[in-house]
Chains A and B, each alone.
Chain A
């Protein structure tokens, strides 16, 4: 099947594994057979996932695996909740991968700062995997991750692995702690104030609610990071994902094909703009 066809017609792929992350989020691993019409994609790209008979949702790649497609889905409505009910062995329709991903090439040789809020850690996890796979090609890796509560953290076991490593510096904070939480409390941007980075040689990638990304970007600009080195992911509602229907158009940009990852300077005036 040609690439053009996979962009419009879903390809059925089998669910190989399901991990429950939180009360409302799961990570799906989809088997991607050799020669599959759906490519492996790159960090920051997304697929349109179709639980049969329900509808489609854009879901980012949350790992850089070549053999499988890994997606973390938070149930917020009909389609994403149907995705959350899938079991190993079930089939799901997949179109993609779509969109412009994270600037990993531009990040080579530089320090990387990732700012993730809530489900926004999912697309950035694929960056973490890619950097750890080719660790020597990049400078320091600092990750600031904010979750709503300790129970709503994604990838808890992996977070602990990362915290134990010396080649990645990860700080986790929650908006509201609980009786068992002895970690940091406060909004994710508070982790950036004293982040151990060299503003002149770092590249920032932020993913989360738009208001959070704007605050994080401004704070990093305030620390002296040049605006062209700050990237955000705009995850507006979309339909065709191929730049045809205009559903996700904001101003002159199509979120699906020009994005979802954009240099902050290109979209700073669009962040927080209501959907049309």
Chain B
């Protein structure tokens, strides 16, 4: 059977990270499965874990009493789910609902933050992976908001 370190190293988000770092972060990881329709994260709840998606899809949703739940974005295999665990006050800013059966690695946020603080070089290496993903998401969200394919775009 493959070790957790080997498994997480195969995920696109961590591929290429130096072995010692992989071994360190693997200590905070576990395998999780979510059934279709279940909520993986809930807006306003404490961001105690973050997920690397292996299989299946997740809808990030916002609920408003008048409009109901609206899907902002979907995520799929290879994506990271959630960054709120990185930033105080560590609360999720949207719901995350499994659209089909989701297999993921869940990382304990307190454990991972602790390891990043203890080894800032590793923390920086991880941030160098988070930041481009978050930048890409922000730029995609802007273009989505511009209604690029609408008649007036």
Contact = CB atoms under 8 A, between A and B. Distances in A.
Do A and B pair up? The answer is yes
Contacts of A24: 151
Interface residues of A, number: 30
B143 to A, nearest CB: 5
B12 A215 contact: no
Kindly state the interface size class of chain B when it binds its partner: 20 to 34
Given A184-B76, A211-B143, A146 B149 contact: yes
Interface string A118-159: 110000000000000000000000000011100010000000
A185 B133 contact: no
B10 interface: no
Interface of A: 24, 76, 117-119, 146-148, 152, 173, 175, 177, 181-187, 189-190, 193-194, 208-209, 211-212, 215, 219, 222
Contact of A148 (B71, B137, B147): B147
Contact of B71 (A147, A185, A194, A208): A185
A189 B140 contact: yes
B143 A189 contact: yes
Interface string B34-55: 0000000000000000000000
Contacts of A189: 136, 139-140, 143
Interface in B63-78: 71-74, 76-78
Contact of B146 (A118, A173, A208, A211): A211
B140 A118 contact: no
Contact of B149 (A147, A186, A193, A222): A147
B127 to A, nearest CB: 17
B148 A186 contact: no
B141 interface: yes
Contact of A185 (B74, B137, B149, B151): B74
Contacts of B74: 173, 183-186
B1 interface: no
Contacts of B20: none
B150 interface: yes
Contacts of B95: none
Given A177-B71, A184-B57, A186-B144, A209 B149 contact: yes
A219 B140 CA distance: 11
B116 to A, nearest CB: 23
Given A186-B140, A187-B144, A209-B153, 20 more contacts: A118-B149, A119-B149, A146-B149, A148-B148, A152-B149, A177-B71, A185-B74, A186-B72, A186-B141, A187-B148, A189-B140, A193-B136, A194-B12, A208-B148, A209-B148, A211-B148, A212-B143, A215-B139, A215-B143, A219-B136
Given A117-B148, A118-B149, A185-B71, A194 B99 contact: no
Contact of B133 (A175, A177, A193): A193
Contacts of A175: 144, 147-149
B122 interface: no
A81 B68 CA distance: 36
B78 A194 contact: yes
B59 interface: yes
27 contacts: A76-B151, A118-B149, A119-B149, A148-B147, A148-B148, A185-B59, A185-B72, A186-B72, A186-B73, A186-B74, A186-B144, A187-B148, A189-B136, A189-B140, A190-B73, A190-B140, A193-B78, A193-B79, A194-B77, A194-B78, A194-B79, A208-B148, A209-B149, A212-B148, A215-B139, A215-B140, A215-B143
